């Protein structure tokens, strides 16, 4: 179900917030043969569009983010170390000694994070970290090609297990992977609505790209594909939710969006009809869906998500069966979608 080759390629790319260009370029080459048209917003969000033959067709937006948490170079120190600022939410305990890499003109400059103090402490109260790339002087660092404003991400290589895959960027690569599976599945089909499948930028720094993308797409229906924290292994979890391998997440509540109730019913019905495993989930984290839902005159919005352990760390764990469940449900949902249903979702809460 999951395209292993595509998955490997996506997981190796670096995509710090504000510098998602490597993923965007890769997606452009993948989208082109599957789309009638490619559209961008002015921050870099990208969508493959499948046009219908209907006049004034409804717009369906299938979207998730392609940025991963990262660092941005702030200044050089005399001894050759670097100061960098955290972009997005990184789990502090995962940072000290972790491998990171700058991506400069297509080649990597590897480094690690040092402690700021004698006691182990990788992050200052101003969200700054100290980076050691092995330079012996400020001059050596400056001559390496690194410039102020260069972006870095975690450097860990993916670990491809039979069932579980560990990677630095599931939060940021899940949506590109699932979106491509959808485009591939519907490539020979005529749809009764315009389908926009793509990825936003700058989600992890404050749900930014989704605002501009929504104004470009002008959706009538939104489906967000995202990752949520798994709470299936911690001793102190309040509720055991987001169980890896137990199926896609039916998010009935998110701090920033209340998913349309008729859409949730439809998703559950599709899962039941097709024997796709699902589990209930609620999230206190917030997501791109917030703005798709509340911009313009409002858009009924649904999540089709998967659980991930260790979000914000270089080793994020996902279960391949959960990805398969998300893909299968999303494809089935799009197959069963009609303009009349889109109108009904809009009218659901009247």
Contact footprint for other proteins (CB under 8 A): 220, 238-239, 252-253, 256, 258-261, 264-265, 280, 282, 293-300, 346-350
Query: Residue 148 or 237: which CB sits closer to other proteins?
Result: 237
Query: Residue 81 or 299: which CB sits closer to other proteins?
Result: 299
Shortest Å distance, C-beta 289 to other proteins:
12
Query: Residue 66 or 257: which CB sits closer to other proteins?
Result: 257
Shortest Å distance, C-beta 230 to other proteins:
16
Question: Which region holds residue 105: left if phi is over 0, alpha if psi is between -120 and 50, else beta?
Answer: left
Shortest Å distance, C-beta 299 to other proteins:
6
Shortest Å distance, C-beta 298 to other proteins:
3
| Contact in structure between 112 and 82 (CB atoms under 8 Å) | no
For residue 338, give every residue at least 6 positions away whose Cβ sits within 8 Å of its Cβ, in sequence order, or none: 192
Query: Residue 15 or 299: which CB sits closer to other proteins?
Result: 299
Query: Among 161, 182, 122, which Cα is nearest to 318's?
Result: 161
Query: DSSP string covering 260-297, please?
Result: -HHHHHHHHHHHHHTT--EEEEEESS--THHHHHHSTT
Report which secondary-structure segment, H or E, holds 73.
Answer: strand 70-76
Backbone φ and ψ for 283, nearest 5 degrees, come out as: -130, 135
How far is Cα 101 from Cα 6, in angstroms, rounded to an integer? 22
Query: Residue 157 or 237: which CB sits closer to other proteins?
Result: 237
Shortest Å distance, C-beta 15 to other proteins:
28
Query: Residue 164 or 268: which CB sits closer to other proteins?
Result: 268
The packing angle between helices 170-185 and 4-12, to 10°, is: 140
Query: DSSP string covering 76-120, please?
Result: E-TTS-EEEEEES---GGGTTT-EEEEEETTEEEEEEEEPSSSSS
Query: Among 245, 269, 249, 257, which Cα is nearest to 333's?
Result: 269
Shortest Å distance, C-beta 339 to other proteins:
14
Shortest Å distance, C-beta 242 to other proteins:
13
Query: Residue 53 or 350: which CB sits closer to other proteins?
Result: 350
């Amino acid at each position: 179900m999951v395209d292993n080759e595509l998955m490997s390629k996506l997981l190796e790319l670096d995509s710090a917030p504000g510098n998602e260009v490597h993923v965007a370029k890769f997606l452009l080459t993948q989208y082109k043969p599957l789309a009638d048209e490619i559209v961008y917003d002015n921050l870099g969000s990208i969508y493959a569009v499948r046009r219908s033959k209907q006049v004034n067709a409804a717009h369906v937006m299938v979207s998730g983010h392609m940025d991963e948490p990262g660092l941005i170079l702030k200044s050089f120190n005399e001894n050759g170390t670097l100061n960098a600022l955290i972009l997005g939410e990184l789990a502090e305990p995962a940072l000290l000694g972790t491998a990171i890499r700058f991506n400069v003109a297509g080649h990597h400059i590897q480094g690690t994070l040092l402690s700021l103090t004698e006691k182990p402490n990788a992050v200052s109260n101003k969200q700054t970290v100290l980076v050691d790339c092995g330079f012996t002087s400020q001059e050596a660092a400056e001559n390496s090609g690194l410039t102020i404003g260069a972006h870095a991400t975690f450097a860990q290589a993916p670990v491809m297990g039979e069932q579980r895959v560990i990677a630095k960027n599931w939060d940021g690569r899940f949506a590109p992977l699932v979106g491509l599976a959808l485009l591939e599945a519907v490539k020979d089909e005529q749809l009764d609505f315009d389908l926009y499948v793509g990825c936003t930028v700058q989600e992890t720094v404050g749900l930014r790209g989704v605002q501009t993308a929504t104004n470009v797409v002008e959706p009538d229906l939104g489906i967000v594909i995202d990752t949520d924290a798994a709470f299936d292994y911690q001793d102190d979890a309040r509720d055991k939710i987001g169980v890896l391998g137990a199926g896609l997440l039916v998010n009935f509540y998110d701090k920033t969006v209340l998913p349309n109730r008729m859409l949730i019913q439809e998703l559950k019905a599709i899962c039941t009809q097709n024997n796709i495993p699902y589990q209930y989930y609620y999230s206190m984290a917030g997501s791109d869906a917030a703005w798709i839902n509340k911009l313009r005159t409002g858009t009924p919005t649904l999540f089709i998500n998967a659980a991930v352990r260790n979000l914000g760390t270089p080793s994020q764990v996902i279960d391949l069966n959960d990805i398969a469940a998300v893909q299968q449900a999303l494809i089935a949902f799009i197959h069963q979608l009609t303009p009349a249903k889109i109108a009904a979702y809009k009218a659901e809460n009247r």
